[in-house]
Amino acid sequence: MGSFKGHALPGSFFLIAGLWWAGKYSLWYATRRNKSLGSTSTRLASRSTQRRLEVIEGSVTLFFSVVGMLAEQFVADGPRLHLYDYSEHHWDRLHNWQHSTMYLFFGLAGAMSLIVHTTTDAAPLALDRLMLAIAFFIEGFLFLYHLHGRAMLDVHVHQLLLFCVFGEAMVSFLEVFHRGNVLLELLRASLTILQGSWFWQIGFVLYSPSGAEWDQKDHNNMMFITMCYCWHLVFSLLMVAALYCTISCVVRSRLKRTPPMEMGLLKPREREQESEDEIL
2 belongs to the binding site for its own copies (CB under 8 A): no
**Distances in Å between the alpha carbon of 83 and those of 58, 80, 148, 195, 215?**
29, 8, 20, 29, 35
* # residues near its own copies by CB under 8 A: 60
Q: Could you give the CA distance from residue 252 to residue 32 in angstroms, rounded to a whole number?
A: 11
Is residue 125 at the binding interface for its own copies, with CB under 8 A as the rule? yes
Among 44, 221, 239, 251, binds its own copies (CB under 8 A): 221
Number of H helices, E strands in the chain: 9, 2
Applying CB under 8 A, the span of 2-10, 11-19, 68-76, 119-127 interacting with its own copies comes to 119-127
Beta-bridge partners for 91: 84
Q: Beta-strand (E) ranges in the chain? A: 84-85, 90-91
Residue 119 to residues 24, 27, 109, 174: CA-CA distances in angstroms? 21, 24, 16, 24
According to CB under 8 A, which residues from 40 to 69 bind its own copies? none
Burial (CB count <10 Å: 0-12, 13-18, 19+), residue 9? middle
Q: Is the alpha carbon torsion for 101, 107, 113, 116 positive or negative?
A: negative
Beta carbon of residue 43, minimum distance to its own copies (angstroms, whole number): 19
Contacts of residue 246, defined as CB under 8 A and 6 or more positions apart, other chains included, come to none
Nearer to its own copies, 151 or 230 (CB): 230
Contacting residue, 63, 67, 275, 276, with its own copies by CB under 8 A: 275
Task: Answer yes or no whether residue 253 interacts with its own copies by CB under 8 A.
Answer: no
Reported as half-sphere exposure (CB side, CA atoms, 13 A), residue 9 has a value of: 14
Only segment of 16-24, 38-46, 49-57, 244-252 that touches its own copies (CB under 8 A): 244-252
Is residue 163 involved in binding its own copies (CB under 8 A)? yes
Closest contact distance (angstroms) between CB of 242 and its own copies is 13
Residue 211 sits in the site that holds its own copies (CB under 8 A): no
CA distance 145 to 138: 11
Binding segment for its own copies (CB under 8 A), chosen from 12-20, 35-43, 70-78, 179-187, is: 179-187
Please give the Cα distance from 195 to 7 (Å, whole number).
11
Half-sphere exposure of residue 263: CA atoms within 13 angstroms, side-chain side: 10
Q: Which residue among 74, 80, 124, 257 contacts its own copies (CB under 8 A)?
A: 124
Of 77, 88, 121, 262, the one binding its own copies (CB under 8 A) is 121
Are 230 and 8 spatial neighbours (Cβ–Cβ below 8 Å)? no
Query: Which of 22, 199, 244, 255 lies at the binding interface for its own copies (CB under 8 A)?
Result: 244
Q: Is 138 in the site for its own copies (CB under 8 A)?
A: yes
Give the residue, chosen from 94, 151, 242, 261, that forms a contact with its own copies under the rule CB under 8 A.
94
Residues that bind its own copies in the complex, under the rule CB under 8 A:
29, 33, 90-91, 94, 97-98, 101, 104-105, 108, 120-127, 130, 134, 138, 141-142, 145-146, 148-149, 163, 176-178, 182-183, 187, 219-224, 226-227, 230-231, 233-234, 237, 244-245, 248, 267-268, 270-272, 274-275, 277, 279
